[in-house]
Structure 1
Amino acid sequence: MRELHADRADSDGAFIVVMDLDSGEEFQIPIDSTLRALVHPPESVEADVPAQCECASTDAARPESTPSGPAQSVADQPTDAQATLSLTPREIQARVRSGASVEELAAATGVGVEKINRFAHPVILERSRAAELARASHPMGVDGPVAGTLGEMVAECLVLRGHSPQNAEWDAWRTESGQWVVQVSPEPGSDLFAHWRFVPGSHGGTTDPMDDLAVELTEPELARSSRRPTVQAVPKPPAHEVAPDGHEYVTVDADDLTGRQSHRRDPFGEVLDLRYDDERRVEASTPQEERESTAPRHRGKRATPTVPAWEDVLLGVRSHPND
């Protein structure tokens, strides 16, 4: 019987790839309920484990090249075998694809990092590829995708802020809804993170900012215009504070100031009052007065001059008695 060595899991986590150390030939074993039952036997079978452990302890002095039986592998690592069953390879890959790290899963399950990394490594490569594609995408602007890429715009803003673009850390993961999210940090260990929604496409895809830092990195003008100056309250001087030389603090009633302001002469108010009085006079005039005022005046007939008779002209007598 040939001995096969468990080498790795396939990309989908549905099979375990085993290899013949002598010939290098590879085989795959499906990860199903039968395999799980063999790796983690029922309670009725676990009763025989102590007897097998004694045999395993006697074989501990053998060289490492000496093959050990299945009982030894189960007895030496009961905790890892039990913890591995808490998360299937498919579940491990799903969590890594959603953003979990290998260290987080190892701490949560109690399994070694190397064992988790066997299933997580293909997904980590997938996330790294998605982050690389997102850097070549085009951020969405007001009028659509801009000409520059996300990586170029982020690098330019990092230089202006005094950071080195080479130190920036890029990452990407897929949410439960299937949406890709890309993240960038200015430098390792920084608590500042910018996030964009990444939509892959034929021309590099597009990215939309998801937080304020992402807006500042890709749309600095929009970020500056959205800021509003804040009004800060002036602190009230304490009661025991001494006034400067030549000055003193005076407490004035606000109602008194309001009353004084109401008696001040307002030239604009007077002009408005005069205009208002003229309008009232026009409104108070009766229609009859308006018609009389607007009706045209009829001119009277001119007086016809008196022409003296011929006899009066000859005799030099005036016909009008007043003349």
Structure 2
Amino acid sequence: MTTRPQPTHGVSMQDLRLIGVDDDGGHLLLASVDGARFRVPLDESLRAAARRDRPRLGQLQIEIEGGMRPRDVQAMVRAGMSADEVAERSGWTVEKVHKYEGPILAEREYVAGLGRAVRLRQRGGSGPSTTLGQRVADRLTARGVEADSIEWDAWRREGPEWTVAVNFSAGGRVRQGTWAFDVASRSLHAKDDEARWLSEDEPAATPVPREAPVYDVEADGGLDAAGRRSRADDPVDLVTAMRERSGGPVPPRVPPSRVGAGGCPALGRCRAVAPRRPRRHR
């Protein structure tokens, strides 16, 4: 190499020439025209410069300066952040963010399309299936939402699971429904009430419980008949039943709680009656 001072941005620079490799194998040895010696580490940035690998050199320069790497910026875009939000957090300009966000935005759009194409099962497994996108469109149309206002998106933050989202305007404000989406299995489930309303099956018809019959006092025999009906499980008094049928006088009914041993009223006296013997016919 020849020495040739070069003004760069007002600073005079001196050329150095390569004179060898250090004994440790990790440094290059350089010398100036006046015999001064220098060494420079043989690191990845120097190798990239020798290969003229400009993209890699740019990334290494960012790391050396302590800034964010492009893949860190792309991770923020993949997580759903806008270019303005990424620029504010990373210290980059919005124009610089735009240079790296293109592939990630395409990835998000592709995953959102996969989520919309997932086929939803009908309740009970009967009837034709439909896609998530079609069912959401049908539900929103029934709600009076303009089809042009429906926007789909997808993002991934931590782990392999993506979030698929639909945004729409209803009731004077922007609403959003989100689903957790497994790309590998093409399965998803609603994460909020809006998504459940938009994608889940209509509830199955359930039988209406029968109401208890209303007792008509006049038509069904008066209050006494109602009382007798409520005591349907009480023991049957044969004597009383026979007298009721014959039209004879009916003795007052003694509540079961006031009947003592042997069928006598607990507070009254009981007279033992010997059973009658059957007559013999001559």
Contact 1:97 1:127 in 2 (8 A): yes
Contact 1:215 1:222 in 2 (8 A): no
Residue of structure 1 equivalent to 2:73: 92
Whether 1:169 aligns to 2:138 is no
Q: Which segments of 5 or more consecutive residues in structure 2 lack a partner in the other structure? A: 1-44, 207-222, 236-252, 264-269
Aligned 1:57-206 pairs, distance under 5 A = 85-139=66-120, 142-143=123-124, 147-187=129-169, 190-200=173-183, 205-206=186-187
Q: Deviations over 1:161-196 (max 9, x none)?
A: 222223311000113132111111125995200111
TM-score, with normalisation over the residues of structure 2? 0.53
Contact 1:185 1:194 in 2 (8 A): yes
Q: Residue 217 of structure 1: SS of its match in structure 2? A: helix
- RCO higher in structure (CA 8 A, sep ≥6): 1
C-alpha distance in structure 1 between counterparts of 2:99 and 2:70, whole Å:
9
Q: Which segments of 5 or more consecutive residues in structure 1 lack a partner in the other structure? A: 1-14, 19-25, 41-84, 226-265, 303-323
Contact 1:138 1:207 in 2 (8 A): no
Tell me which structure has the larger Cα radius of gyration: 1
Hey, which of these two has a bigger chunk of helix by percent? 1
Taking every aligned residue pair, what percent have the same amino acid on both sides?
29
Q: Give 1:93 deviation, angstroms.
A: 1.5
Residue of structure 2 equivalent to 1:211: 192
Change (3 A) 1:213 1:97: same
Change (3 A) 1:88 1:169: same
Q: Residue 136 of structure 2: SS of its match in structure 1? A: helix
After superposing on structure 2, the runs of 4+ consecutive aligned residues of structure 1 that deviate more than 6 Å are 272-276
Contact 2:150 2:167 in 1 (8 A): yes
Residue of structure 1 equivalent to 2:56: 30
Residue of structure 2 equivalent to 1:299: 279
C-alpha distance in structure 1 between counterparts of 2:63 and 2:115, whole Å:
43
Contact 2:74 2:104 in 1 (8 A): yes
Change (3 A) 1:182 1:281: closer
C-alpha distance in structure 1 between counterparts of 2:279 and 2:257, whole Å:
30
C-alpha distance in structure 2 between counterparts of 1:116 and 1:107, whole Å:
10
Q: Deviations over 1:216-257 (max 9, x none)?
A: 2123634999xxxxxxxxxxxxxxxxxxxxxxxxxxxxxxxx
C-alpha distance in structure 2 between counterparts of 1:180 and 1:170, whole Å:
13
Q: CA RMSD in A?
A: 4.4
C-alpha distance in structure 1 between counterparts of 2:182 and 2:162, whole Å:
7
C-alpha distance in structure 1 between counterparts of 2:67 and 2:225, whole Å:
85
Q: Deviations over 1:263-311 (max 9, x none)?
A: xxx7689656996955628953529x9xx89x79443362xxxxxxxxx
Q: Deviations over 1:103-129 (max 9, x none)?
A: 211123342212112222211111010
Residue of structure 2 equivalent to 1:54: none
Whether 1:284 aligns to 2:266 is no
